[in-house]
Amino acid sequence: MITTLSAARALTSKGIVENPLLSLEDGYIAAITSRDHAEAPANTRHFPGATLTPTLFDIHLHGAANHDIMEGTPEALSAVSGFLASRGVGQYLPTTVTAPVDATLHALEGLADIIEGGTASRQARPVGIHLEGPFVSHGKRGVHADELILEPSIAIFDRFYQASRGHIRLMTIAPEVPGAIEVIRHATSKGVRISVGHSTATRAETVAAIEAGAVSATHTFNAMRALDHREPGILGTVLDRDDLFAEIICDGIHVAPELIRLWLKAKGPHRGILVTDGMSATGMPDGTYMLGDFEVTVAHGRATARGVLAGSVLTLDKAIENLKHFTGASLATAIGLASTNPAHMLGLQAPTLAEGQPASFNLFTEDGKLQATCLNGQFLN
């Protein structure tokens, strides 16, 4: 049976289509046409004023729906995946946090099982793992446990990689720590993308990491050496380099709107990446929740532990709305930052609206609010 829906516009693989008609059949996009050239069938489902977009891709997420990624169980990941789908996310990288080596190995093994086992059709799909920690700086560790931070080691990285069965796609590392450059080269040779972050690196140390294979920066501005006019450091290098991708947490808490605008001007529509850094409290009321093996207090949208920010409760659809509000960026730009760019950074096929592709897409209002989500031909809301 063919289902047809109409909207104001669609962000397709071939560009923006005005007044689109999207025909769905057996969970796939059968055709993309326009009301400018064809009549809408009588049973068409109309979304006046809405824009059809690809689904979103969150590459930095520690948990949601009262579950933490480090649990590494099907029950935890099912809850997280279901919640993410309800917020327009089609795929994501479950992200670890610094923990004892055995706990990290256990989580990686469990995540690999889940990635290989597949997810339900109405859930966001984990497509790899983001290893954040333990190779971070003591000086910019944020909430990462100081006593569990390790110097970068090829031997330890290989233990993590083997436990993940090759599913580590992204790793955050502080490039100034002894051993980091060697680990960056080694991980890059295995196809792992490297993101610099939780770091006090100078410009020279950051450039050395890029030359060794680093391609991105983790939650830009946060847990980085402050910008100095004589020593650009990691932050100045990240903002200046046109070849480097850069994440940002666009919740108005982690980074001020003025600096969100500066970041977007510096990175442009093709190198910026919106992330959430969401933790288990995402989608939950204020209270006490877990991030790895420690407690985080959430009050009025702010998650803190040990006196510092501890991830966020941001959702990626809200990050899109915030970006539009803070910067005036178009919806198409905002969607690209949360969909196309993370995929390109990882070397993966970007979520797309195209004939023959799975019928997975979102509908956003003109002001950037998520209106509806469809995964594999099934509407979630």
Q: Which of 84, 130, 144 is nearest to 318 (CA)?
A: 84
CA–CA gap between residue 8 and residue 316 (Å, rounded): 22
| pLDDT reported for residue 106 | 98
Q: Place 120 in a pLDDT band, splitting at 50, 70 and 90.
A: confident
240 is catalytic: no
CA–CA gap between residue 160 and residue 298 (Å, rounded): 31
Cα 370 to chain centroid, rounded: 17
CA–CA gap between residue 69 and residue 227 (Å, rounded): 32
Q: Place 160 in a pLDDT band, splitting at 50, 70 and 90.
A: very high
Segment 242-286, tens digit of pLDDT: 999 999 999 999 999 999 999 999 999 999 999 999 999 999 999
Segment 365-377, tens digit of pLDDT: 999 999 999 999 9
What is the Rg, in whole angstroms, of the alpha carbon atoms belonging to the chain? 20
What single letter denotes the amino acid at residue 162?
Q
| 67 and 280 Cβ atoms separated by less than 8 Å | yes
| pLDDT reported for residue 42 | 87
**pLDDT at residue 82 above 90?**
yes
CB count within 10 Å of CB 135 equals 27
- Specify the pTM: 0.97
CA–CA gap between residue 39 and residue 300 (Å, rounded): 48
Q: Which of 340, 380, 374, 381 is nearest to 28 (CA)?
A: 374
- Segment 146-175 shows an average pLDDT of 98
| pLDDT reported for residue 241 | 97
Percent of the chain residues topping a pLDDT of 90? 95
Q: Structural domains in the chain?
A: 2-53+354-379 (2.30.40.10), 56-346 (3.20.20.140)
Would you state the structure tokens that stand for residue 105, as one six-digit string? 């190995």
CA–CA gap between residue 347 and residue 108 (Å, rounded): 21
First to last CA, the chain: 20
| 370 and 317 Cβ atoms separated by less than 8 Å | yes
Q: How many residues does the chain have?
A: 381
CA–CA gap between residue 144 and residue 308 (Å, rounded): 10
CA–CA gap between residue 8 and residue 315 (Å, rounded): 25
* Mean confidence (pLDDT) of the chain: 97
| pLDDT reported for residue 208 | 98
At 127, is the secondary structure helix, strand, or coil?
coil
Would you state the structure tokens that stand for residue 62, as one six-digit string? 């520690």
Q: Place 306 in a pLDDT band, splitting at 50, 70 and 90.
A: confident
Q: Place 1 in a pLDDT band, splitting at 50, 70 and 90.
A: confident
Burial class for 170, CB neighbours closer than 10 Å (0-12, 13-18, 19+): buried
Segment 326-372, tens digit of pLDDT: 999 999 999 999 999 999 999 999 999 999 999 999 999 999 999 99
Catalytic residue among 58, 68, 251, 277: 277
**pLDDT at residue 53 above 90?**
yes
What single letter denotes the amino acid at residue 114?
I
Specify the DSSP element, H or E, that contains 163: helix 154-163
| 277 and 311 Cβ atoms separated by less than 8 Å | yes
